[in-house]
């Protein structure tokens, strides 16, 4: 079984890495992300580069964080099963139900792997919709773009919350905890920089979030 869960029976959850929107400034911004991340300064890496468009920056990073969470969760697909995780939870006080507002309008209780599958399908559909994430240089972003991005990040946080609460010991046994912590720190600093997640939504990991932000 490969590290990223490619050999597991739950292959639907793991999907190929998505690239930044082509034909936009995405490729250049992606290089900026890679370069600043390589420096190890995550606070610097999340800041909007001078002169760049905020929506372009949000778009490229949304793709990046989608890929990160997808790969991290992919390491756990054989452990995060409907039997082991019958609800999408983050500890005893927090349970998440799924609704996309289109095909599933009333929130439904689903297992954690089913929730993540629904979520990744939903995010991928947003990323592939050129009316939301335009591919062409100069094409306008929709007026509600920031709201779409905030919903994506709010739901990606829930995957991190589930991993930390339900699977952290498994992550440690896979020797992936340093990578998980770095990815989550990057995620928190980015969402905080652009106020993408309300503080109340971060409650399941509030101590960890506060230590990252040093509040």
Structural tokens at position 139:
């094409």
**What's the pLDDT score for residue 18?**
61
Per the structure, the count of domains in the chain is 1
Domain membership flag for residue 2:
no
**What's the pLDDT score for residue 209?**
94
Domain membership flag for residue 21:
no
Taking only the tens place, the pLDDT of each residue in 163-194 is: 999 999 999 998 989 889 999 999 999 999 99
Taking only the tens place, the pLDDT of each residue in 33-84 is: 665 555 567 888 899 988 888 999 999 999 999 999 999 999 899 999 999 9
Compute the CA torsion angle 147, 115, 71, 39 (nearest 10 deg): 30
Q: How far apart are CA 175 and CA 169, in angstroms?
A: 10
Burial class (CB in 10 A: 0-12, 13-18, 19+), 130: exposed
Evaluate if residue 112 carries a pLDDT over 90.
yes
More confident residue, 213 or 37: 213
Q: 177-193 and 145-173 helices cross at what angle (nearest 10)?
A: 160
Span 193-212, average pLDDT: 94
Domain membership flag for residue 205:
yes
Domain membership flag for residue 16:
no
**What's the pLDDT score for residue 73?**
93
Classified as helix, coil or strand, 89 is strand
Domain membership flag for residue 116:
yes
Domain membership flag for residue 154:
yes
Span 202-210, average pLDDT: 95
**What's the pLDDT score for residue 198?**
94
Domain that holds residue 209: 26-213
Domain membership flag for residue 129:
yes
Buried b (16+ CB within 10 A) or exposed e, 177-212: eeebeebbbbbbbbbbebebbeeebbebbeebbeeb
Q: What is the CATH number of the domain that holds 98?
A: 1.20.140.30
Domain membership flag for residue 100:
yes
CA distances, 206 to each of 167, 197, 201, 214 (Å)? 18, 12, 9, 11
The model's pTM is: 0.84
Phi-psi sector, 178: left (phi>0), alpha (psi -120 to 50), beta = alpha
Evaluate if residue 113 carries a pLDDT over 50.
yes
**What's the pLDDT score for residue 11?**
40
- The owner of tokens 């972003």 is 141
Report yes or no: 149 and 180 within 8 Å, Cβ to Cβ: no
- The owner of tokens 């095909």 is 103
Taking only the tens place, the pLDDT of each residue in 128-172 is: 999 999 988 778 999 999 999 999 999 999 999 999 999 999 999
The strand pairing partners of 88, in sequence order, are: 96
Q: How far apart are CA 189 and CA 164, in angstroms?
A: 17
**What's the pLDDT score for residue 52?**
86
End-to-end, the C-alpha distance of the chain in Å comes to 41
């Amino acid at each position: 079984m490969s590290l990223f869960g490619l050999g597991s029976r739950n292959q639907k959850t793991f999907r190929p890495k998505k690239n930044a929107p082509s034909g936009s400034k995405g490729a250049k911004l992606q290089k900026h992300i890679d370069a600043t991340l390589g420096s190890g300064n995550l606070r610097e890496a999340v800041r909007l580069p001078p002169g760049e468009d905020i929506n372009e920056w949000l778009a490229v990073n949304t793709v990046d964080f989608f890929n990160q969470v997808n790969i991290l969760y992919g390491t756990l697909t054989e452990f995060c099963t409907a039997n082991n995780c019958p609800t999408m939870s983050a500890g005893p006080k927090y349970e998440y139900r799924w609704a996309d507002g289109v095909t599933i309008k009333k929130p439904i209780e689903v297992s954690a792997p089913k929730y993540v599958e629904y979520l990744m399908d939903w995010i991928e559909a947003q990323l592939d919709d050129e009316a939301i994430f335009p591919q062409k240089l100069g094409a306008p972003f929709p007026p509600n773009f920031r709201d779409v991005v905030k919903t994506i990040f709010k739901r990606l946080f829930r995957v991190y919350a589930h991993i930390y609460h339900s699977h952290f010991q498994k992550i440690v046994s896979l020797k992936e905890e340093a990578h998980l912590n770095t990815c989550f720190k990057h995620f928190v600093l980015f969402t905080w920089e652009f106020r993408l997640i309300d503080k109340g939504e971060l409650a399941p990991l509030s101590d960890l979030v506060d230590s990252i932000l040093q509040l």
